[in-house]
């Protein structure tokens, strides 16, 4: 196995940088440092820890352009979307700076004791294994609540965004976090297994594919460690006959095509009622055709290359296997290296790869259904459980279906999206645990019962 890792610009094809992986000796000293610092960091008052979030936000803001350019170079995200990602991280810092103190305050519970309460203590050192699709946001939404709760963090980021991984480590140091509070590990998969098995690591958070989730959950389970898993999805976007296309069509297109289709919560299966099908398909196609694709460093670009050419290989194979089963190309489906044209596939039915699997790129699978009842049946016909979105003017009827949706999120007349104020996570093959909001900061704390008689 190589002891080096390299980054490449997927748009230009140029190599960016090669890094040496950390040796086992280096990893050992990083683990020890994380463990040592955790003993003093956990003792600091919450207010002192959350105060640093101001500095993190300021550094993000001062370096917005540099960080955005780095993301765009390493994984091809259109630059305007890279900037929005950094802005969202700033909002996240602001949210936990204002709320962490009350989330983590002792909770008094009346019992037979003179005094009894729950104390929310940090667990210690937490490992994060993160994906490349939102190189800053995924790391920050783990790190900000986890560090603020008094834990230390070790990051194993996706290897194609190593530059982002290292600059995030530098950011926390610049913001005044004690050295070792947040460290970036440059390690291979075998080393991840050793690190997670080490007693000094108390828990793990993984955002990534189902395959990686199963592997990490198995190692965590064997070592009796808590895991939060944010995995893949194949969210349904239901368009009922009474949907207001004029108001919501842009949202529907964005739900599939933002981040060049590489989002876990993207709309992957468009389930469209027959009465609006032709109108929807015509307007949706017109809008998809109008997306401006090209150089991701251009401010006007909506849509660019995938993060790596092998991701386009996977997508192409999923589409080809679906076409063999009777699906039809309605628009697009041109592919060159890491570029995959925005694509619309019709005649999609269950048991086709683009219905059953996660498509991690700009392919919209369109499923025609005769009525609302069939639409809800199709929604439920999946192994995944991240989220469902539905477009209808009858929001009262849609709200009446909340309890039958098995996913982690149900959005009516809006795309499924993350927001620091709301919990985020999935069910079934999409994983377990929650990030963001009060729920997220509670994942890596020991909810300790304290009972006092005197």
List active site positions. 230
Contacting residue, 12, 63, 194, 209, with ligand NAP by CB under 6 A: 209
d(CA 83, CA 67): 8
Q: Is 135 in the site for ligand NAP (CB under 6 A)?
A: no
d(CA 329, CA 369): 18
Among residues 302 and 358, whose Cβ is nearest to ligand NAP?
Answer: 358
Per-residue contact track with ligand NAP, 2 to 31, x per CB under 6 A? ------------------------------
Q: Is 412 in the site for ligand NAP (CB under 6 A)?
A: no
C-alpha of 83 from chain center: 17
Q: Segment 210-229, which members bind ligand NAP (CB under 6 A)? A: 212, 215
- Of all residues in this chain, which one has the CB nearest to ligand NAP in the complex? 208
Q: Which tokens sit at 56?
A: 């993190």
Contacting residue, 10, 78, 122, 131, with ligand NAP by CB under 6 A: 131
d(CA 432, CA 287): 35
Per-residue contact track with ligand NAP, 235 to 274, x per CB under 6 A? -----------------------------x----------
Q: Is 383 in the site for ligand NAP (CB under 6 A)?
A: no
Q: What is the dihedral of CA 381, 213, 229, 203, to 10 degrees?
A: 160
d(CA 454, CA 449): 17
Q: Which residue has the tokens 């149900």?
A: 410
C-alpha of 13 from chain center: 25
**Site size toward ligand NAP, by CB under 6 A:** 26
d(CA 39, CA 57): 25
Closest CA to 208 of 237, 226, 230, 189: 230
Q: Is 194 in the site for ligand NAP (CB under 6 A)?
A: no
Among residues 215 and 383, whose Cβ is nearest to ligand NAP?
Answer: 215
Contacting residue, 339, 360, 376, 411, with ligand NAP by CB under 6 A: 360
Could you give the 3-state DSSP secondary structure of residue 408? Answer: coil
Q: Segment 174-193, which members bind ligand NAP (CB under 6 A)? A: 189, 192
Q: Is 124 in the site for ligand NAP (CB under 6 A)?
A: no
C-alpha of 93 from chain center: 17
- Footprint on this chain of ligand NAP (rule: CB under 6 A): 129-133, 138, 156-159, 189, 192, 207-209, 212, 215, 230-233, 264, 358, 360, 386, 426
């Amino acid at each position: 196995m190589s002891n080096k890792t390299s980054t490449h610009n997927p748009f230009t094809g140029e190599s960016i940088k090669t890094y040496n992986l950390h040796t086992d000796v280096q990893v050992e000293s990083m683990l020890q440092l994380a463990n040592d610092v955790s003993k003093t960091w956990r003792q600091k008052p919450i207010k002192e820890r959350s105060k640093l979030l101001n500095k993190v936000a300021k550094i993000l803001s001062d370096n917005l352009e540099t960080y955005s350019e780095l993301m765009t170079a390493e994984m091809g995200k259109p630059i305007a979307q890279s900037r929005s990602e950094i802005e969202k991280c700033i909002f996240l810092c602001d949210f936990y700076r204002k709320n962490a103190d009350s989330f983590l305050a002792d909770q008094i519970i009346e019992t037979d004791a003179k005094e009894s309460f729950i104390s929310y203590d940090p667990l210690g050192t937490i490992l994060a294994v993160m994906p490349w699709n939102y190189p800053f946001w995924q790391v920050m939404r783990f790190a900000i609540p986890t560090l603020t709760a008094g834990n230390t963090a070790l990051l194993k980021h996706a290897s194609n965004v190593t530059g982002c991984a290292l600059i995030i480590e530098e950011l926390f140091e610049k913001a005044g976090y004690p050295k070792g509070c947040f460290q970036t590990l440059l390690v291979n998969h075998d080393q991840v297994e050793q690190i997670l098995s080490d007693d000094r690591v108390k828990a793990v958070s993984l955002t990534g594919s189902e395959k990686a989730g199963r592997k990490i959950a198995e190692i965590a389970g064997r070592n009796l460690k808590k895991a939060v898993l944010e995995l893949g999805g194949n969210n349904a976007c239901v368009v009922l006959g009474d949907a207001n296309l004029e108001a919501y069509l842009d949202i529907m297109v964005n739900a599939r095509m933002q981040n060049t289709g590489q989002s876990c919560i993207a709309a992957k299966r468009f389930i469209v009622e027959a009465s609006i099908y032709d109108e929807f398909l015509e307007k949706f196609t017109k809008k998809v055709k109008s997306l401006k694709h090209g150089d991701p460093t251009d401010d006007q670009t909506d849509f660019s290359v995938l993060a790596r050419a092998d991701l386009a290989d996977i997508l192409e194979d999923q589409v080809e296997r679906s076409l063999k089963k009777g699906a039809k190309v309605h628009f697009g489906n041109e592919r060159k290296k890491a570029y995959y044209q925005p694509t619309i596939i019709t005649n999609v039915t269950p048991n086709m790869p683009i219905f059953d699997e996660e498509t991690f790129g700009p392919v919209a699978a369109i499923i025609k259904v005769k009525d609302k009842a069939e639409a809800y049946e199709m929604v439920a016909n999946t192994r995944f459980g991240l989220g469902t979105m539905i477009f209808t003017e009858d929001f009262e009827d849609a709200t009446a279906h909340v309890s039958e949706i098995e996913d982690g999120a149900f959005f009516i007349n809006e795309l499924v999206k993350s927001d620091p104020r709301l919990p985020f996570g999935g069910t079934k093959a999409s994983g377990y645990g929650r990030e963001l909001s009060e729920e997220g900061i509670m994942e890596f704390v020991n909810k300790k019962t304290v009972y006092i008689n005197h």
